[in-house]
Chains A and B, each alone.
Chain A
Amino acid sequence: MNGALAVSRYTLVEISRRRLLLVFFVIGAVGIGGLGIVLKAFTSAFVPGGSGGPGYQGPTPAQWEKLTELQFVTNLIGALGVFALLIAFAIGMTAIYHDLESGAAVAIFSKPVSRFAFTVGKVLAAAVAMIAIVGLLSLEARLVMFLFGGGLEAALWFETLAGVANAAALMLLVLALSAWMNNIVAAVVAFIYNGVAGVVTALHQQLVSGSFGDNQVLHTGLNIAYWLVPHPLVSSAPREIVRQEFEIFAASQPPDAPPVDQIVSSIPGPSSATDILWWVFVVCVLFAILYFAVRRRQV
């Protein structure tokens, strides 16, 4: 346990000194802050202040404000997701690869530390670093949200958790691959995997919403693919945002417009307990692959 903590502590020191991560963090922080300020400025300058005149059925100023907030949250979720992935790649490519490839592993492994403790320490440091960076960006996002008066706390909280969980799984995949192969090749493989997982999830969502009709072969095939390919976790935030946007415009919708439930059903819904268990299983498998690679590695 002491060995794992020592590995973890000094891996964190190393990660904190990597300029690439600092650059990602600064770009993320500036991007999130800038996004909020620009949207707020846009709302103040262009959103109509009056009621819109007799017969006007569009959103009120308060609803415009709400709409801008939802727009901010939508962009924020996208930006946080992208930065979490970038940080996952940056940490995953370097946290273990450099020690194994340089002579550092020779000095470390000749000490009374087991390879299991080394692996645990590395993964712990990588996870803590990612949670800290994404957490700081989320905290900044929450502060920026006060510009809009706050709101959507629960949705954002779960979205942040889902984003961190997805990035952690991807980071572990890059870590595991980089213990077997060159770290750039590992990142490319993980990137392709991430794309495939995204496509499978999107297709499965279309299947669930009924877009593919009753084709049983497609049904079975996509269900199998969905449960074979580790898929990202989803929070309730995307559906919640669309629902709230729809409600703002509800008064101006034609009477024959489809009901809100039908619209949101095409958007990925919150992950079920089975999805979360599947994520836990995938993380355990990736850790086992990483440990196996470190254990058999001859340095």
Chain B
Amino acid sequence: MSTVVSVQNLRKRYRRRDPWAVDDVTFELDAGQAFGLLGPNGAGKTSVVKMIAGLIRPDSGTISLFGSNPGNPAARAELGLAPEDPDFPKFLRAPEVLDYFASLLGLDDEERKRRIPETLEFAGLETEHRQIRQFSKGMKQRLGIAQAILGRPKLLILDEPTADLDPIGRRDVRALIERLKQSGVAILLNSHLLSEVERVCDNVAILARGRVLKEGTMSEVVPEGSNLEEVFVQLVEANQPQRDHMPSFISERQ
């Protein structure tokens, strides 16, 4: 299988005095594979995703996206990114946003006429005529996924794709991932919903404080008789200072 994205010894920090947000991260993702990037808040998952999408520059290490540097616009032609907490030009409407992005993707008129209504229908936004500024977070998330699949990408990056979705939306996203995998699309999934990751991903990497704690196929990472959540909690807690979980006043009698 051909490698879609290859990340080697990636390091990134946002200010010189800050700790590394991403520290020596290495992994590869092949066509038709679903890769889960897991970690607690602030582990560096979104930073990795943004570097792969060419949105931020690594301090060191290399990224190969379809064999090119992601800073090169042509390398992003077959990339679909559904960002965490997505937003769009706020005075546009959903079909206009998709038409805008279809233009950026270089789709011709015929393809736009075919794909935009179908994508809007998939996202459940076909009857929505309000401007983006009037959208709920869930609607923006649906539109975020819609614009990511519009160009029929060969790599789809989903950063917390179901965080603001209702159960039906989550089911649709799960079905979408399965369908795309079958058609050879590589999926990079950032999610806190470990049961979801366990269901759809072939490989996982667990990050904490920017470093990869464990990486491999699902069966390599999750031993028999255990589950991903247990492995995740054990690994992460062993790598960060123990916290006193509950504020003392919670248990006081009223």
Name A residues whose Cβ lies closer than 8 Å to a Cβ of B.
2-3, 5-7, 9-11, 13-14, 17-18, 98-99, 102-104, 106-114, 117, 298-299
Among residues of A, the one whose C-beta sits closest to the C-beta of B106 is: A2
Contacts known (A2-B103, A10-B92, A298-B55); A106 close to B76, Cβ less than 8 A: no
* B106 with A110: CB separation less than 8 A: no
Tell me which of B81, B105, B151 contacts A106 (CB under 8 A): B81
Q: Which residues of A contact B90 (CB under 8 A)?
A: 14, 98, 102, 104
Among residues of B, the one whose C-beta sits closest to the C-beta of A115 is: B73
Q: Which residues of B contact A114 (CB under 8 A)?
A: 73
Encode B48-61 as 1/0 by CB contact (under 8 A) with A: 00100111110000
Q: Is the interface of A mostly helix, strand, loop or mixed?
A: helix
Tell me which of A6, A13, A102, A106 contacts B104 (CB under 8 A): A6
Tell me which of A10, A13, A106 contacts B55 (CB under 8 A): A106
| A13→B105 CA distance, assembly (Å) | 19
Among residues of B, the one whose C-beta sits closest to the C-beta of A116 is: B73
Q: Which residues of B contact A9 (CB under 8 A)?
A: 100, 103
* B91 with A110: CB separation less than 8 A: no
Nearest-neighbour CB distance to chain B for A113, whole angstroms, equals 5
| A107→B159 CA distance, assembly (Å) | 12
Name B residues whose Cβ lies closer than 8 Å to a Cβ of A.
50, 53-57, 73-77, 79, 81, 83, 85-92, 96, 100-101, 103-106, 131, 144, 147, 151
* A3 with B55: CB separation less than 8 A: no
* B91 with A111: CB separation less than 8 A: no
Contacts known (A13-B92, A17-B131, A18-B91); A107 close to B83, Cβ less than 8 A: yes
* Residue in B54, B103, B105, B106 with the greatest tally of chain A CB atoms within 10 Å: B103
Tell me which of A17, A103, A298 contacts B85 (CB under 8 A): A103
Q: Which residues of B contact A104 (CB under 8 A)?
A: 87-90
| A103→B53 CA distance, assembly (Å) | 14
Tell me which of B54, B57, B87, B104 contacts A103 (CB under 8 A): B87
Please name 28 pairs of A and B residues whose Cβ atoms are closer than 8 Å in the assembled complex, sorted by A: A2-B104, A3-B103, A10-B89, A10-B92, A13-B91, A14-B91, A18-B91, A98-B89, A98-B90, A99-B89, A102-B87, A102-B88, A102-B90, A104-B87, A106-B83, A107-B81, A107-B147, A110-B53, A110-B54, A110-B55, A110-B76, A112-B73, A112-B75, A112-B77, A117-B73, A298-B50, A299-B50, A299-B55
